[in-house]
Structure 1
Amino acid sequence: MMRTYTFLSRVPVLQNRFTLKILAVAFVGIHIPLFAIIGYLLITHLPPETATPIAILTLLFTLIATGITLLILTKLLKPVMLAKRALNDYIEYNKEPKLPIHFKDEAGVLMADVQKSIEELRRSEEERTNILQILSHDLQSPVRTALGVTGLMKEGKSQIDDHELVSMLEESLKNQLNQLRYYLNLIKEQKLELDRDIKKSTIGIPELIKETTDELKGAFREKNIKLKVSGYQQCANIPKHSLQRVLHNVLDNAIKFSHNGDTIEIKIEKRDRLLDIIVEDSGKGFPPDEASQIFKYNSPLQRNGTANEASSGVGMFLCQNLMKRIGGEIKAESEGIDKGSKFTISYLMED
């Protein structure tokens, strides 16, 4: 199958240029009629006055045909060269190409496949980066919970008995272990299970809220923060996993930036197909005109919590990515510093 290509690759002038291989074959093919006519003229011994015009005209038209053919072939090989350059640019400079993908012949399919492959590689790389960012961010939550519970046990000032504190710690660590296993499996497989993230299931909204707040039970109790839940209490067909992760991160932030003894309120509103989960706190807040900055990677608004809890600066960036993936959005509002924050998680359900 590769014999012709292998043979031509052994020719020193042709071995490093695919285009020259094509042009060399075309050149030889075009000149076969010329060689045949010259041979015929020699064999038939035509008079010079007859043979010379024939030879000159044949040579002239052959050269013209050769030039035109080689020029067109060079142009026709452009898709192959574009595909090669696109791959080289992506490998060397991480530059994503914009190859045409609407052609249907073999060269067009090649360009479309190269474009699609590079886009998939870029997407896969972004997803792996997101996984690592999520993993890095989420690992902080159980550590804070564990430290909070062990601190309460150590000080002996909590009104909760040690058995319940140990149960809280165990439950928190079990939940986080499941998340850790999930993300480690994704890294191992080198892909993000988008199907799980966007897979919808019918679940009661109170159940969604309870499962999420249970993961943060220790953090709530550590700062003596009260939780108030109100609004829509029915079932909804939603991408549970993604909404749960976003709500977890938003609540984790609300706890972090709330003061001891504050109240965090979760309101669930449903208007037609639009489901809003609103989380409000009365903590640190932020300047109203800087709401969009919160969702930037390594946000410039990054700061420690009210109890000096560390902030990675990527939590809200990841929340925004998760909401975009499922076709939703997340918004942040605040009336100013020390006036609390309001985060609205919106998801438009299908009919």
Structure 2
Amino acid sequence: MPPGDATRRPGRLGVGIIGAGRVGAVLGAALRAAGHAVIGVSAVSAASLERAENLLPGVPVLELPDIIERAELVLLTVPDDALPELVEGLARLGSWQAGQLVVHTSGRYGIGVLGPARAAGAIPLAIHPVMTFTGMSLDLGRLPDSMFGVTAPSAVLPIAQALVVEMGAEPVVIEEESRPLYHAALAHASNHLVTIAAQSAQLLADLGVEHPDRMLGPLMKASLENALASGEGALTGPVARGDAGTVVAHREALDGHDAPDTRQAYLGMARATAERALERGVLSPAQGASILAALADPPGTGGPRHPRGTRPGPPS
């Protein structure tokens, strides 16, 4: 590994980035702003090359072996499914170096996936940013409001935490065995929120509402803020009120509309809401039974299942 640049402050590292996607380019820029030197980045697609040029100006685009040879810290920002093969493949090539920090940003994995690099003497760290990325400079301003899920061997955990703090964010320690459940919680909150917004917007658009986003925006933002501030105490709506008649009307409307994925999601979320409301005493047993009965499919059926645009019309 080459000696550090004498012009850098003590403790500064030469950082190599493998994967100039939205996450890699932004975190590379954040580490650079903290005084670390980004010595090289891998980028293949036109979008990655553009991000590298915009967020990491002057940083050379290098081949993977060259990055690993020159870097004191290798930042792996590749898709989850590609990470094990990448780490193992580079190990087979003998690329990893003893004492080198190898850091990935996957939410799913802890440090176990870095086992082949660790066997070569590298130091494994997992730091997962809990935020969505645009791959633009505005992401840098969002980092101070975010948290990172951090997993590392106890002896080097302070290094992982320090890297996150240097980027302006807050580290939260996640145990190795807890990473899949941790990631499921985040995906449920973030990804499914997008799906719910898209489904609701589609229903409104089907009714002729010209700007569904303007109708849903204030409602969803207020609901999210209230939920984060007050938890399930912020729950409103027909399920929380035990208004089974309204739930039945919703169901009939969805049964008659060609949006089977939305129907399925509505019924599933409404059942989960009713069950949680029952457990917390928001609904009485009688109210809960009434709501769940309104949501139940007849035995042996899953309700109508017509792909969008193929629902049969009324009989002629």
* TM-score normalized by the length of structure 2: 0.31
Q: Which has the higher helix share?
A: 1
Q: Which has the larger radius of gyration?
A: 1
